[in-house]
């Protein structure tokens, strides 16, 4: 789920969008909260702490990115990839969450490191 950190209204809609995902997607669907336009610090309307707190309440990972300068874009994709690999392994009765070591070394979420 992506929102614009410079637009509080876009963040305010995330909860509604998550409800739609939860209503229409399988229970096992993996979610990631992404605040885009992190490069626009002078226009930031949604504090990192607010978004992180919201993601924590939902039990999902939060990352701030900038598509403009590619900050954390790769990390967002690697994080989602790791989540999907973990889900697949758990579904097969294999590895438990957090045991995927190769991507663990590459991915440094949550947000803004």
**Model's pTM, two decimal places?**
0.76
Sketch out the chain's domains with CATH numbers.
2-106 (3.40.50.300)
Which residues of the chain form beta strands (DSSP E)? 2-4, 32-36, 61-64
Whole-angstrom Cα distance, residue 1 to residue 72?
Answer: 15
Per-residue pLDDT band at 98 (split at 50, 70, 90): low
pLDDT at 91: 81
Q: How far is CA 39 from the centre of its chain?
A: 17
Q: What percent of the chain has pLDDT over 70?
A: 82
Q: Is the pLDDT of residue 28 over 90?
A: no
Section 55-63 average pLDDT: 94
């Amino acid at each position: 789920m992506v929102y614009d950190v410079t637009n509080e209204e876009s963040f305010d809609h995330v909860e509604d969008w998550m409800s739609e995902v939860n209503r229409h997607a399988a229970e096992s669907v993996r979610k990631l909260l992404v605040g885009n336009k992190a490069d626009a610090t002078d226009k930031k309307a949604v504090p990192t702490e607010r978004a992180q707190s919201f993601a924590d309440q939902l039990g999902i990972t939060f990352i701030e990115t900038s598509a403009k300068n590619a900050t954390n874009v790769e990390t967002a994709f690697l994080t989602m990839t790791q989540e999907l690999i973990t889900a697949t392994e758990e579904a097969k009765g294999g590895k438990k969450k957090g045991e995927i070591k190769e991507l663990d070394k590459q991915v440094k979420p949550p947000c803004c490191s």
